[in-house]
């Protein structure tokens, strides 16, 4: 069984790393290349870059950042945000991404998942699903940066994207994003148990125990965090040592060796 992964996320706006709460109130968090190199040295397993600029210029800036980061680190790079076509996907891969995350476009044109999987391979396709709790245990899928209800039930949609050929799901609980109150364990577990592809949990990490909980109770294959790492509240090396001490099998980072 493969080990669990720790994945820092860099939200990129105008070539800089930013972070907010529930997709709003953004603040500058630093230079993406320097931050990426630091995360690799700490033992991060992969790195996510998300373009939060809706402009074409913003996309060009992101691809430039992708190229620079890809040339500076050796861990896998997942890039998303604003991917609307197979050509966008191709450009991102050619800029140095190992995987590409697609969100809103999968709702508008589900066939993009299958097309990209057939051309570039299923492992390169990460279906990004942003969710909000509607009532009780019912979650709705949101698109356009969490602003618009897509009218889709989260679990059904997760099964759909997996069936279309996605190699992985990046699941973000919008209600938890940036709050540091812990991951949304309920929906993460239900989707993780429902699909046969890996699920990356995102949104809400606030302390070491949150990672343990999302791996054990939430059944996630990977855990993503942003502000917790950006502002030095949790060091990835320390986090991995903590997880190993609690019996979690984790990946051996390129820069560090870990055992349990």
Q: Which residues pair with 165 in a beta bridge?
A: none
Sign of CA dihedral 183, 186, 190, 191: negative
The per-type count for the chain, helices as H runs and strands as E runs, is 10, 12
In the chain, alpha helices (H):
32-42, 56-70, 86-94, 104-108, 111-120, 154-164, 185-194, 208-216, 227-230, 236-245
Q: Are 149 and 122 in contact (CB under 8 A)?
A: no
Q: Are 76 and 105 in contact (CB under 8 A)?
A: no
Distance from the first to the final alpha carbon of the chain: 13
Cite the active site residues: 11, 130
């Amino acid at each position: 069984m493969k080990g669990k992964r720790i994945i820092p996320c860099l939200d990129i706006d105008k070539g800089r790393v930013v972070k907010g709460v529930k997709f709003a109130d953004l603040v500058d968090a630093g230079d993406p290349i320097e931050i990426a190199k630091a995360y690799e040295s700490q033992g991060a397993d992969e790195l996510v870059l998300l373009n939060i600029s809706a402009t074409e210029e913003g996309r060009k800036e992101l691809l430039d950042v992708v190229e620079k980061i890809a040339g500076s680190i050796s861990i896998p790079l997942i890039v998303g945000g604003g991917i609307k076509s197979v050509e966008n996907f191709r450009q991102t891969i050619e800029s140095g991404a190992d995987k590409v995350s697609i969100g809103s476009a999968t709702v508008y044109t589900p066939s993009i998942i299958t097309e990209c999987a057939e051309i570039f391979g299923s492992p390169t396709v990460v279906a990004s699903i942003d969710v909000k709790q509607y009532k009780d245990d019912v979650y709705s899928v949101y698109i356009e940066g969490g602003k618009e209800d897509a009218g889709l039930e989260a679990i059904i949609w997760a099964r759909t994207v997996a069936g279309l050929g996605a190699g992985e799901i990046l699941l973000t609980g919008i209600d938890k994003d940036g709050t540091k109150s812990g991951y949304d364990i309920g929906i993460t577990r239900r989707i993780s148990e429902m699909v046969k592809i890996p699920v990356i949990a995102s949104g809400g990490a606030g302390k070491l125990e949150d990672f343990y909980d999302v791996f054990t109770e939430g059944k996630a294959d990977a855990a993503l965090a942003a502000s917790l790492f950006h502002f030095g509240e949790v060091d990835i090396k320390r986090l991995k040592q903590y997880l190993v001490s609690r019996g979690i099998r984790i990946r051996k980072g390129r820069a560090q060796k870990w055992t349990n």
